[in-house]
Structure 1
Amino acid sequence: MWKRTTTVILGFLLVFGMWVAVVPVTVHACSCAQVPNIEDQLNRKTAIFTGKVVSLTKPVQGEIQSSADPVEAQFEVKTVWKGEVGSQTAVYTALSSVSCGYEGFEVNKEYIVYAYGGPDRLETGFCEGTKTLTSAQNDLKALGTGYEPAKINAKIMIPQEAPLELSTMDTEPDNRLASNGIVLAISLSLLILLVIFIRRRAR
């Protein structure tokens, strides 16, 4: 009876351990503080502008992919409120909202973009206030009259492996460590039970 019970427990733990190892651990989306008001946005951001996304370049999907991999959105800029923004400007964001990336960019849609970073590498994210132009009427009213973009192309190419420097509340590496810890604990439990089972059977 004891041997049968042990075999059932071992089988259950083995199946559970394989499931944990294969199924990705659920991660929590980025948590944001309250979006700054327009005055704070004008003080803190490197660039504020409206524009249409003309191309969207996502990282090549491989065996290993991070939620922080950069996505490049190329904009045809319409109106600028802050920064020396070219008529064609690239903005980068993380691939997933898990790493505070902005996932709402679509080609041929217009947005108001609140960007930080250097003028040669503008970045935005889930917590920065970037949104579609149709939902930005209050922002446009508060910003007032803007100015035309510079007659330059400000697209800067970067290597795909370059990381985005984004502040996150819940990051993917932490979840990977948690997943590895669970798998390790289950593996140790399986090993201990297997040793006990073998010793009992040898008697």
Structure 2
Amino acid sequence: MKAFLVRFTLALVPILLGTPAAFACSCFMFPLTFEEGVLRGLEGSDAVFLARVTSMLVPVTSMEEMEEVRLGFPVRRVSFELLENFKGVEPSDKYLVTPLSSAACGYSAFEVGSEFLVYASRNSEGELGTGICGRTAPSAGATDEIQLLREYIVNSEVEPPYTDLQNDGPSCEQN
């Protein structure tokens, strides 16, 4: 009985003192054909583009020194060179943000110098953001998807998107 009371007390202490909220990323996806998935991704995103990562700003680990925290999670800023704009990238877009933690749905596969097909949404501050629940992927594995997006843009009545192929990679500074 004494052992039970000790275990019960140890289990009850964190509850009474309060524990930090636990978050986990959960992505719900409908089973779709490849074409339906690409089209739904295009329609459901604020921006879809092909880009080369030019730099990544990762905040330091201490909360006092951390440059950016969103919803309690540190974020990574990823600067990019725009290669092709399928939808929604504006000349003022210099970077995108993603949580550092996959538990917060952060996309961690970005590498400087690599090319990615990015599906992004705008946050309340107007910044582009992406995560693991979208279709963002390295471009090398998304050649069929990129071709389908090109065909869709050519065959649609959408105005030609902004593309700055002269861009040598925007900086990561805030405006």
Q: What band does the TM-score fall into relative to the shorter chain? A: 0.5 to 0.7
Gap runs ≥5 in structure 1:
159-203
Which one has a larger percent helix, Structure 1 or Structure 2? 1
For 1:79, the equivalent position in structure 2 comes to: 84
For 1:116, the equivalent position in structure 2 comes to: 121
Shift of 1:88: 7.6
Q: 1:98 aligns with which of 103, 125, 128?
A: 103
For 1:31, the equivalent position in structure 2 comes to: 27
TM-score (norm 2): 0.65
Deviations along 1:122-160, one digit per CA (max 9) or x if unpaired, are 1111112101112112211211267772256485627xx
Over the aligned positions, Cα root-mean-square deviation in angstroms equals 3.8
Deviations along 1:151-202, one digit per CA (max 9) or x if unpaired, are 56485627xxxxxxxxxxxxxxxxxxxxxxxxxxxxxxxxxxxxxxxxxxxx
For 1:149, the equivalent position in structure 2 comes to: 163
The structure-2 alpha-carbon separation of the partners of 1:88 and 1:28, relative to structure 1 and needing over 3 Å to count, comes to: closer
1:133-148 aligned at under 5 Å gives the runs 133-144=139-150
Deviations along 1:77-130, one digit per CA (max 9) or x if unpaired, are 211111244498301111222222212212222110011116951111111210
TM-score (norm 1): 0.57
The structure-2 alpha-carbon separation of the partners of 1:107 and 1:120, relative to structure 1 and needing over 3 Å to count, comes to: same
Equivalents in 2 of 1:30, 1:100: separation in Å? 8
Determine helix, strand or coil for the equivalent of 1:70. Answer: strand
Equivalents in 1 of 2:94, 2:63: separation in Å? 30
The structure-2 alpha-carbon separation of the partners of 1:88 and 1:12, relative to structure 1 and needing over 3 Å to count, comes to: closer
Code of the residue aligned with 2:129 in structure 1: it is E
Equivalents in 1 of 2:147, 2:38: separation in Å? 10
Determine helix, strand or coil for the equivalent of 1:50. Answer: strand
Code of the residue aligned with 2:141 in structure 1: it is S
Percent of pairs identical after alignment?
23
1:1-203 aligned at under 5 Å gives the runs 6=2, 8-9=3-4, 12=7, 28-34=24-30, 37-62=37-62, 68-86=73-91, 89-117=94-122, 120-144=126-150, 149-150=163-164, 153=170, 157=174
Q: Is contact 2:51–2:84 with CA below 8 Å preserved after alignment?
A: yes
Code of the residue aligned with 1:90 in structure 2: it is Y
The structure-2 alpha-carbon separation of the partners of 1:109 and 1:18, relative to structure 1 and needing over 3 Å to count, comes to: farther
Larger Rg: 1
Determine helix, strand or coil for the equivalent of 2:122. Answer: coil
The structure-2 alpha-carbon separation of the partners of 1:157 and 1:69, relative to structure 1 and needing over 3 Å to count, comes to: same
Gap runs ≥5 in structure 2:
154-160
Q: Is contact 2:89–2:162 with CA below 8 Å preserved after alignment?
A: no
